Structure 1
């Protein structure tokens, strides 16, 4: 299987594909309950507050693993962290029907455990570690001007959401709502086997990478933080993390603010769209699943499109990288705010509501070219830790937003109350977008690992293409 795939795709393309699928599962396990809960209403008498607790439970402890995830990924390698993180959380999904049958609080506890998911050995994964761990892989594998395109793999999360909604609707009709959770666990097992066989922490560890691809990465990464030095990754030196300078960095906190706005919008639309479409527009559960999934297909398609355009502009030197990150970040946040305002005033118009919902989620795909890529740009050496730090703050909307929606719509499912929900979300996007447009600057920060000297770069370019292979630590 591995040789067959490697013969058709480069090692980098295989990594992109499996990362894409991994992020799809990462979000499938988060959102499968969002559609299942619509069908569960007929069996469990949970009010809006109880449903909000169930929907937000995943994020209660999820924040606590973000920074440790980035640190552990640097120590033992993102292959292990990302792989086991996804697998273990998805396997726990199979217990959701049992927990729901006990009590809604048991299901809340299970969802919180999925967000945290502590395994006895420190080398096993926490689900909250998945996202920051992949930024470590990005820094090792992807040259600066290719990062937008590679990070679009993270938007596989939207495909996971998009497929989960309609497929779950079909599964509910055929097999009942518990089948949703069993299918998630089975898919995770298949993905993990492929991930473990085909993915390696660093190009120099890959046994099937071609000499030409290895040399391509070696030459192009040497100019960015000397990721390669004399044919070896300097990441193994593991310089001490400059915590004080990171925590007092204006650019770090501007990206935190930008991601807060993005995650609030996405969390609100991701978790509440099924309930909104069912209660306000009266769609059947099958249509709810379909209409809830379409926006996330749009988000992924938009990410794939704009990331390739962005990387093309960088390679042709039409635009400077920091300016591209600034334009992408501020533009999609302001566009999200405008579209959410439109959604809030769409009332009971099915067509207008659907169009605004799809567009508001779709433009969020520019996250790949904006703040996610900017975190790697400002600090290739500590990007996994930075992503973990930003996610500590940005997981908060995951449980604050459902609580706000529950409070606003409790026994009052009306267009007016949902208008308030969407206008609050619009404000959460507009403010960070405007602030980043004024103050954002995604240049490499002085506290990051010093770049290679000209002599180091010249030496690396003179190195002959290295023979692939070698299974060092953290493969």
Structure 2
């Protein structure tokens, strides 16, 4: 399984670089501009001393280049997602025509190149920075759905949850980027955050272009045994040639719409925590960029390892034949929605306790690791022939929260950041995250859909899984 393992590593590192680019501004902005607060001290919790060894940043001597309002900050942080949704569906469709190697590779490469531009755009005008980020997000939108096309053509159903943990290279990218960028800002300044991220990304692209192939059959070094295993596992589910997209069936499918609703909730959770945590920790406790980076990054490490651990458990449950695919997806979905919402709500009650705030933020992000075994696997489960197209729809829904969340926060803070205003925002977020998961328990499904073979050759779920040496109980 060497070819599949190599593919996992390159997808993993590709998502790590992708997220390094999309979130580098989230940590850089801590050093780019000063956030306004009602409190007279350096931060919203001046009497918080739980971590006595952590020294707050000296805000009196710290100068920033830009004086942005909360709304301008929201505009800068959310601009990446303004057009990011628009290329999700086209990215999935283009991957079917030109292959995921090209679409994922060049989409990422454009983001890397644009990262070099960000410091110049910021110093020219805030509107230029917003425009550059919006353009970066537009082209970058094609990355996620295109990789689902690779997954559908390379990975057998009972190994899908484990392979999709590669998507959480995104978490490792975030986990490394935050502390690394905090250190870079301390040493060289915020502009080098963008330069270093870009260089790392370009190096990844070179490896991707040389080593990745769209299908196992195209791979020149894959072993005959590995090729035979993959081909026999997918023959009954995945067509060798692109099939016409059954748009009516897709758009009227209750399982698809339920999965999209779940994607909305998990998208809100991910983008809210990923985007706002650095600013929140800086505002709450007045920590330096390096300290903020470290504590913002730790939850993404735990998210990845929890995802890896859970994926083995979920795939093992499916392999026993005792649990339906929908059943195991419900387990994962409840963890990354309902359980995560409770942990986000706990942040509200943690108040200014540094230990509890960081514990609950870490556990909340960790719980979102269940998304690889839940929401991210659903679209491949429902129709592997159209996985990239379904993920395109999913991507549209999933990234909209990244655009909206900063503005919702700015409504609560309104240039006067207080503990209470942030708590109200987190409480609302908890409700938004939990509702889709609760709905999925009643009407959700991850079973293979009849329209996966729109040419009339309806694929039977039970026969398809039997062909892989498994039996599924409904």
Q: Same fold judged by TM-score > 0.5?
A: yes
Question: Does 2:334 match 1:330?
Answer: yes
Per the TM alignment, residue 330 of structure 1 is displaced from its structure 2 partner at its CA by 2.6
> Which of 395, 414, 418 does residue 418 from structure 2 map onto?
414
Contact kept in structure 2, 1:235 and 1:381, CA below 8 Å: no
Distance 1:314 1:375 in 2: 17
The alignment status of 1:235 with 2:227, answered yes or no, reads: no
- 1:183 corresponds to which residue? 196
2:354 matched residue in structure 1 = 350
Work out the CA distance in 2 between the residues paired with 1:179 and 1:261: 34
Q: Is contact 1:79-1:200 (8 Å) kept? A: yes
CA distance in 2, matches of 1:221, 1:358: 38
SS of match in other structure, 1:345: helix
User: Which deviates further from its counterpart, 408-417 or 164-173?
Assistant: 408-417
- 1:204 is matched with which residue: 217, 221, 227? 217
Alignment gaps of 5+ in structure 1: 1-8, 117-125, 228-233, 462-475
Q: Separation in 1 of the partners of 2:399 and 2:421?
A: 24
TM-score normalised per structure 1: 0.89
Match of 1:110 in 2: 132
Find the residue that maps to 2:277 and give its secondary structure. helix
Q: Please, which of 92, 98, 102 is the counterpart of residue 120 of structure 2?
A: 98
Q: 2:302 aligns with which of 290, 294, 298?
A: 298
Question: 1:43 is matched with which residue: 65, 86, 89?
Answer: 65
Distance (Å, rounded) in 1 between the aligned partners of 2:459 and 2:404: 44
Give me the whole-angstrom Cα distance separating, in 2, the residues matched to 1:332 and 1:60.
25
State yes or no: 1:364 paired with 2:364: no
Q: Partner residue of 1:10? A: 2
Instruction: Tell me: CA distance 1:219–1:283, structure 2 relative to 1, closer, same or farther (3 Å).
Output: same
For 2:322 and 2:129, the matched residues in 1 are separated by 52
Which of 26, 29, 48 is residue 18 of structure 2 equivalent to?
Answer: 26
Q: What is the match of residue 141 of structure 1?
A: 154
SS of residue paired to 1:442: coil
1:382-393 aligned at under 5 Å gives the runs 382-393=386-397
**Where does structure 2 lack aligned partners over 5 or more consecutive residues?**
34-63, 469-474
Distance in 1 (alpha carbons) for counterparts of 2:411 and 2:356: 25
How many residues align structurally?
432
Rate the CA distance shift 1:453–1:336 in 2: closer, same or farther, 3 A. closer
Could you tell me how far apart the structure 2 residues matched to 1:411 and 1:395 are?
Answer: 25
Superposed displacement of residue 451, structure 1: 5.4
Q: 2:165 matched to which residue of 1?
A: 152
Q: Which residue of 1 aligns with 2:254?
A: 250
What is the Cα deviation at residue 453 of structure 1?
Answer: 9.0
Instruction: Report the TM-score, using the length of structure 2 for normalisation.
Output: 0.89
SS at match of 1:46: coil
Aligned partner of residue 451 in structure 2, secondary structure: coil
Quick one: distance in 2 between partners of 1:432 and 1:442?
A: 15
Structure 2 CA distance for aligned equivalents of residues 345 and 410 of structure 1: 22
C-alpha displacement of 1:188: 1.2
Shift of 1:410: 2.4
The answer to whether structure 1 residue 64 and structure 2 residue 86 are counterparts is yes
